Amino acid sequence: MCKVCGCTPSLDGFSKNEKIKASSEHLRGTIEEELAADTPEFGDESEQLLKFHGVYQQDDRDRRKEARARGLDKHHQLMIRTRIPGGIVSADAYLAHDEISRRWANGTLRVTTRQDFQLHGVLKGDLKKSIRAINDALLTSLGGCGDVERNIMFCPEPLGDRFHLEVLRSIAGMVAELTPHTGAYHEIWLDGEVVETSEPETEPLYGEQYLPRKFKTTVALEGDNCVDIYAHDLAIVAMRGVDDTLRGFNVLVGGGLGRTHNKPETFVAVALPLAFVQPGEIVDLAREVVAVQRDYGDRANRRHARLKYTIADRGLDWFRAEVQSRVPFQLQPPEPLSWRPVDDHLGWHEQGDGLHYLGIYIENGRIADVGHLRSASGLRQIVQELRPEVRLTAQQNVILAGIKPADRRRVNELLASHGMAPVESIPRAIRHSMACPALPTCGLAVAEAERSMPGLVRQIATLLDELGL
């Protein structure tokens, strides 16, 4: 049903994905039946619906040529993306992901720029076991992908002052409000009971077709833009008040750095200032920003379906007025923002409660044991021994939080014995380099990235050093 006027909309002219979503019974489709079938892959429609459950169907592109030559099918595999609000992972949840990666994936964990974990190389027969294990660790993959609110990001610095705690409470409220309500996830992956009722299941925010495209939100702290607010559909900046209280939020909308190769009608946009709101208003505001995009985003052309295009077509003033018409409070003018140089939060720091945290550089976010560098084994041993909280950063790095001062030496010893260099010894060109996985797993990749970046960036670092730059 249309949320604007209450009518049942026609799907004529809508994209194929819109029709798949509308007929999926809230993301069920035939996933459960195909999961039980003795086949290595899912069908096309299920492949699209799986994304909402945090799963991408992929294949090993390095093996395509050989498979074609031998008349064989692709080497199908799946990638699971765990949704981790703010990138905050308990010690138990970290160890669970480490075990899943070794039992059912390719033995590595991939930290993403959205503070998620990705598990690559999962076979279809191991998919349900993997997702169940993630949920047993009190996390989920629901909403890790798909046309919904994705993982809500937050500055990973593990400070426990009043300001940070109040912001975290607001984020928890947004996560609860913007997570899909469908029972499909629990029915399919967690053997949840199908509840028979005369009342139809509803998605109070997303409706039958969910959003036109993915929706990305980040929360930054005043002065610290380590989570890149200008690249998001919805960017929220927490403003500090007196006595370390949360004074309110600056809100920006319409950012996005994606574009389609050889499609000049697609473009990059930076988020624009929308309003300032009080702490108790941010959850309602976030919901209605998403709802406006739900109602007015382009459902015919997925390349034109992000919020930045809605705002470009209709104007920021129109968008502000539309949001204002839906909330019971007055939007205030946005306040000016200023930023310190970006802090990647690496190295040792005090966290304000007598404990310390350590930001550890993870090249391209790949936690793995390769040659002398054994970051997977090293982090596993540290987390098993010392039980720190783990936080994932937007730069694909890892923070270990809550470490006693007396344990710093032990942490440094374990890192060194596993080939993990202190951040002070890493050239800046390497420290600030980032690459997506690309080949051989990503179906959209047109070139190498993660596999080529280490060699390339080291050549650049050497040249910079020789030139004294």
Residue 195 clears pLDDT 80, i.e. is over it: no
Residue 1 clears pLDDT 80, i.e. is over it: no
pLDDT value of residue 194: 63
pLDDT value of residue 261: 84
The band of 9, judged by pLDDT with boundaries at 50, 70 and 90, is low
Residue 398 clears pLDDT 80, i.e. is over it: yes
Q: Would you say the C-alpha torsion 419, 420, 426, 432 has a positive or negative sign?
A: positive
The residue-averaged pLDDT of 406-434 equals 97
Residue 321 clears pLDDT 70, i.e. is over it: yes
Q: What is the pLDDT of residues 27-67, one digit of tens each?
A: 999 999 999 999 999 999 999 999 999 999 999 999 999 99
- Evaluate the omega torsion of the peptide bond into residue 440 and state whether it is cis, within 30 degrees of 0: yes
pLDDT value of residue 192: 80
pLDDT value of residue 3: 46
The residue-averaged pLDDT of 379-384 equals 99
For the chain, percent of residues with pLDDT exceeding 90: 93
The residue-averaged pLDDT of 96-125 equals 98
pLDDT value of residue 11: 86
Q: What is the pLDDT of residues 226-285, one digit of tens each?
A: 999 999 999 999 999 988 999 999 999 999 999 988 888 999 999 999 999 999 999 999
Query: What is the residue-wise DSSP string for 98-123?
Result: HHHHHHTSSS-EEE-TTS-EEEEEE-
Q: What is the pLDDT of residues 151-191, one digit of tens each?
A: 999 999 999 899 999 999 999 999 999 999 999 999 999 98
| Rounded Cα distance, 218 and 203, in Å | 23
Q: What is the pLDDT of residues 407-420, one digit of tens each?
A: 999 999 999 999 99
Question: What are the backbone dihedrals phi and psi of residue 77, each rounded to the nearest 5 degrees, phi first?
Answer: -155, 170
Residue 203 clears pLDDT 80, i.e. is over it: yes
Q: What is the pLDDT of residues 447-461, one digit of tens each?
A: 999 999 999 999 999
What pairing do the DSSP bridges indicate for beta strands 398-403 and 356-360?
Answer: antiparallel
Are 400 and 357 in contact by the 8 Å Cβ rule? The answer is yes
Domains of the chain with bracketed CATH: 147-194+202-343 (3.30.413.10)
pLDDT value of residue 193: 64
The residue-averaged pLDDT of 308-313 equals 98
Classify burial at 143, counting beta carbons within 10 Å of its beta carbon; exposed 0-12, middle 13-18, buried 19 or more.
Answer: buried
Residue 462 clears pLDDT 80, i.e. is over it: yes
The DSSP H or E segment spanning 236 is strand 234-240
HEC secondary structure over 262-297: CCCCCCCECCEEEEEECHHHHHHHHHHHHHHHHHHC
